[in-house]
Structure 1
Amino acid sequence: MRPLRYAINVTLDGCCHHEAGIAPDEESMRFWTDELARSDAQIYGRVTYEMMQSAWRRPASGIWPEWMSEWETPFAETLDRMPKHVVSRTLDVVDWNAALLQGDLGDAVRALKAEPGRGLAVGGVTLPLALADLGLIDEYAFVVHPVLAGHGPTLLSGLRERIRLDLVERRELGSGVTVMRYRPVG
């Protein structure tokens, strides 16, 4: 069974808005590229899918945009070619190596997890909350930024039941960011 992993940038006060932390640097982009490579496919909600697509999809010209640093290209190339599954009540069609995830969320994700492979990754805010409530997330990676945002969406806000976690890895990056990887107890 493929594990489902949730990884997200978060500030010290729990904000997980994508612009609330420290801007990515070469070391953090290597982490995120390696994190992508641990999985066979991504699972996104509509908002995260559209945000990631607007930033990381290879342009029709085949040339990455000028704003992209050379050290961001491996992340972009890995994500661009990776299969994606999108959960949405409003989209009828998706592209960018993507398919809509149909039917009951729990059943659909359990079916994906049952397929052979290295793993699945989920990103975003709302969808991971639903998957955590269903007990489907096998690993959490919190990339904690030494910033107090003071506002914005917070990590797993509204979780129905407490989930106890075991710390399995802790790593500090040169920027002051700390990566903490956890697995649910039991």
Structure 2
Amino acid sequence: MRPLRYAINVTLDGCCHHEAGLPPDEESMRFWTAELERADALLFGRVTYEMMESAWRRPTSGTWPSWMDAWQIPFAETIDGARKHVVSSTLPEVDWNAELLRGDLRDAVEQLKNGPGEGLFVGGVMLPLALADLELIDEYVFVVQPVLAGHGPTLLAGLRERIQLELVDREEFRSGVTALRFRAGG
């Protein structure tokens, strides 16, 4: 069974809004590129899918936008080319190497996990909460930003049951960011 890995940026006070932490730098973008490369497919809810598509989909011209620095292009190419599964009851269709997952969430994700490959990656806020409640996440990666946001959505707010985690890896970045990797059920 391939593992489902959840990874997200989070501030010291638990805020997981995508603009609450430090701006991405070369080191953090290399980290996120490597995280996506570990996955056979990405799993997003509607909001995360639409946000990522608007930022990282290759333009029809084939040329990345001028605002993108050279060190952002490997991440852009990785996420653009990745296979994606989108959990949504409101989107009529998706593209960008994506397919909709419909029906029972547990059944759909278990079917993906039972497929061949090295692993699945899930990002976002609401979908990971539902997956955590269903005990379907095998690994959690929290990229902790040395920032106190003081507002915004918080990590896994509303989780029904406590989840015990085992720390399996830690990586510190020059910016003061620390990536913590945990195995579920520790």
TM-score above 0.5, yes or no: yes
| Structure 1 moving runs of 4+ over 3 Å | none
CA distance in 2, matches of 1:102, 1:125: 19
CA distance in 2, matches of 1:150, 1:84: 32
CA distance in 2, matches of 1:83, 1:184: 25
Does 1:138 pair with 2:109? no
Structure 2 gap ranges (5+)? none
CA distance in 1, matches of 2:38, 2:138: 13
Does 1:39 pair with 2:39? yes
Does 1:158 pair with 2:162? no
User: Which residue identity does 1:64 align to in structure 2?
Assistant: W
The answer as to whether partners of 2:3 and 2:138 remain within 8 angstroms in 1 is yes
Does 1:13 pair with 2:2? no
CA distance in 2, matches of 1:173, 1:118: 26
Partner residue of 1:89?
A: 89
CA distance in 1, matches of 2:66, 2:16: 27
Instruction: Encode CA deviations 1:34-59: one digit per residue, 9 max, x unaligned.
Output: 00000010000000000000000000
Corresponding residue SS for 2:175:
coil
User: Which residue identity does 1:131 align to in structure 2?
Assistant: L
The number of aligned residues is: 186
The answer as to whether partners of 2:89 and 2:102 remain within 8 angstroms in 1 is no
Q: Mapping of 1:24-173 within 5 angstroms?
A: 24-173=24-173
Corresponding residue SS for 2:109:
helix
TM-score (norm 2): 0.99
Instruction: Encode CA deviations 1:95-115: one digit per residue, 9 max, x unaligned.
Output: 000000011000000000000
Corresponding residue SS for 2:28:
helix
CA distance in 1, matches of 2:101, 2:25: 33
Deviation, structure 1 residue 153: 0.4
Deviation, structure 1 residue 26: 0.2
User: Which residue identity does 1:89 align to in structure 2?
Assistant: S
Structure 1 gap ranges (5+)? none
User: Which residue identity does 2:64 align to in structure 1?
Assistant: W
Deviation, structure 1 residue 184: 1.1
CA distance in 1, matches of 2:92, 2:27: 37
